[in-house]
Amino acid sequence: MSDSHWWRNGVIYQIYPRSFADSNGDGIGDLNGITGKLDYLAELGVDAIWLSPINPSPDVDFGYDVADYYAVDPKYGSMADFDRLLEEAHRRNIHVILDLVLNHTSDQHEWFIQSRSSKDNPYRSWYIWRDGRKPGSTPNNWASIFGGRGWVFDSRTGQWYYHMFAPQQPDLNWRHEPVRKEMMNIFKFWLDKGVDGFRLDVFNEYFKDDQFRDNPWKLGIRRFDRQQHVYDADGPEMMGVVEEIRSILDRYPERYAVGETYLATPERAVEYTGDSRLHAAFDFSLLQSKWSAQSFMQVVQRWDAMNIGDHWPNNVMNNHDNPRSATRFGRGEDDERLKVATAFLLTIRGTPFLYQGEEIGMRDIHLKCSEMQDPVGKKYCPAHRGRDGCRSPMQWDASEFSGFSRAKPWIKVHPNHVLRNVENQKQDAQSLFHFYKDILRLRKNSPALQEGMFQPITFEPKRLVAYLRQNETETILVALNFGRRKVRLALGYELANREWELLLSSQQRAEVGVKDQWLPLSGEEACIMKARN
């Protein structure tokens, strides 16, 4: 594949393999299921897929607890199935990005089994073992984001091991040279197989304070939120590792790495990126934004301004860890707001990330506490309902198990699948699916949308977001009405005097209709147009 900068101009679609498509009827999605849906993804118009972890895992955290980095979990298929998926994806010009979870392993990983067996086992220093401050007390005050203390006492050797996530996810000791070497081998192994890139799970957690100092306390409800995470994240050694990772990637053509910047500000995320660092790092501000024109605009302006020079923005509104945007923004089964949100996500500057099902407006499922599967939900329900909501099976059709599987899926299908599904939306030209597809097509054919400058044109009134995307050859105007009432956008003399061609509207408007320097917009309308002159 010779399309340079696919990751800059393209769109990346996240697949949660467990919930995407089940080919063998065991109720769990798998690799052959994904391969079977590549034509769908090509039709939608995505340029890459990122697969949440497919390595063998005891599934305490559904793949994010890895027991072997060099293999495929049999419940997802074989290595041959993976090779076929890769080949079939490439045949359709779809790149494949794997999720590498290198901050911690599963406690069932052979390295950890060795490590915990005795203090002088060669794998002892592969993990973070410490003596307690005094008998019965932890080495320091670090907490686990999944709840409680970050340390587990292991009576066999009388020491504590550290885990940022579940106790079954012990953190690796990246300061130990053999660990670092092994981690780099994992990159090479999958690069040699031909994968196009990686999403690095919580990469800025690899290095903790080497003196194990206590985090300062602050106000908060859960133990984890009552700390300032000064000493358990973002160790300065990480920059060197990021550079090493990049130098490995650069030995192969057009490979990509995006880091999941955990608990970080956008400023910090940007520092990890650049020509000699990662290609991208996530900023979750948009994902965390409420439904407000002002808030969306602030987020994009800040992030866009930071990503200049050798930094390139990426934009994300959904992933497998958060309530879906359709649940956050949608009213009932109405999708009009989602079209506005999508038009924004797909036309601001940067690489958009989509999450499976977002394109048909899937809503979160509601589970009883007894049905929870996610370790966070299990621990905190009903106070916190965990992350299962956004992990329900993909809704392909109206059949009993939504076309995801012929057997009962591992997690509940959303009851709305009888109406909200891919098959129905494909047949309805006004559906959210077609709206995604149409904008993705527009993006593909528009250098301004791919690489042009981002220029806000108004902030008035508050319910309106409007901006230009421009390069030397093309000017695109995007106008989004976040409110339910119709509004007029003041274009100003210069813009009003250009001739505009309507590219797309979420409200079936027939023409642009600029009048006396005003562009009228109906309630919750997303409108994209292009200057003819």
DSSP label at 278? B
Is the Cβ of residue 146 or residue 500 nearer to ligand GLC in the bound state?
146
Ranges of beta strands (E only) in 155-255 are: 159-162, 197-200
- Residue in the structure block whose two tokens are 């995006």: 258
Q: Residue 22: which of ligand GLC, Ca ion, none does it interact with, CB under 5 to 8 A by kind?
A: Ca ion
- 297's tokens: 């605009």
- 385's tokens: 């309902």
For position 22 contacting Ca ion by CB under 5 A, the verdict is: yes
- Nearest residue to Ca ion, by Cβ distance, number only: 30
Q: 447 φ, ψ to 5°?
A: -60, -30
Instruction: Spell out a b/e string for 124-152, using b for 16 or more CB atoms within 10 Å of the CB, else e.
Output: bbbbbbeeeeeeeebbbbbbbbbbebbbb
Q: How far is the CB of 52 from Ca ion (least distance, A)?
A: 15
CB atoms within 10 A of CB 438: 17
CA 523 to chain centre: 30
CA distance 90 to 110: 33
Return the residue of 321, 400, 423, 451 that touches ligand GLC, per CB under 6 A: 321
Asked whether the beta carbons of 439 and 428 are under 8 A apart, the reply is: no
CA distance 533 to 531: 6
Return the residue of 11, 15, 28, 376 that touches Ca ion, per CB under 5 A: 28
3-state class percentages of the chain: helix first, strand second, coil last, to nearest 5: 30, 20, 50
Here's the x/- map for ligand GLC, 165-194, by CB under 6 A: it reads as: x-----------------------------
Distances (CA, A) of 6 to 196, 272, 532: 10, 20, 28
Instruction: Please choose, out of 16-24, 207-215, 481-489, 492-500, the segment that lies near Ca ion by the rule CB under 5 A.
Output: 16-24
Is the Cβ of residue 23 or residue 105 nearer to Ca ion in the bound state?
23
Q: Footprint of Ca ion on residues 30-59 (CB under 5 A)?
A: 30
N-to-C CA span, the chain: 35
Asked whether the beta carbons of 393 and 411 are under 8 A apart, the reply is: yes
Return the residue of 85, 202, 413, 519 that touches ligand GLC, per CB under 6 A: 202
Q: 502 φ, ψ to 5°?
A: -75, 120
Q: How far is the CB of 143 from ligand GLC (least distance, A)?
A: 15
Catalytic residue positions, numbered: 201, 260
For position 101 contacting ligand GLC by CB under 6 A, the verdict is: yes
For position 81 contacting Ca ion by CB under 5 A, the verdict is: no
Query: Is the preceding omega at residue 461 within 30 degrees of 0, hence cis?
Result: yes
Asked whether the beta carbons of 57 and 65 are under 8 A apart, the reply is: yes
For position 284 contacting ligand GLC by CB under 6 A, the verdict is: no
Asked whether the beta carbons of 387 and 320 are under 8 A apart, the reply is: yes
Is the Cβ of residue 64 or residue 224 nearer to ligand GLC in the bound state?
64
Q: Residue 24: which of ligand GLC, Ca ion, none does it interact with, CB under 5 to 8 A by kind?
A: Ca ion
Instruction: Please choose, out of 11-19, 27-35, 82-90, 300-308, the segment that lies near Ca ion by the rule CB under 5 A.
Output: 27-35
Is the Cβ of residue 201 or residue 336 nearer to ligand GLC in the bound state?
201
Here's the x/- map for Ca ion, 392-431, by CB under 5 A: it reads as: ----------------------------------------
Q: How far is the CB of 49 from Ca ion (least distance, A)?
A: 18
For position 85 contacting Ca ion by CB under 5 A, the verdict is: no
Q: How far is the CB of 456 from ligand GLC (least distance, A)?
A: 31
Angle of the 177-193 helix axis to the 79-91 helix axis, nearest 10: 60
Return the residue of 61, 234, 359, 525 that touches ligand GLC, per CB under 6 A: 61
Return the residue of 5, 8, 9, 26 that touches Ca ion, per CB under 5 A: 26
For position 64 contacting ligand GLC by CB under 6 A, the verdict is: yes
Contact residues toward ligand GLC (CB under 6 A) are 61, 64, 101, 165, 201-202, 260, 320-321
Binding site for Ca ion (CB under 5 A): 22, 24, 26, 28, 30
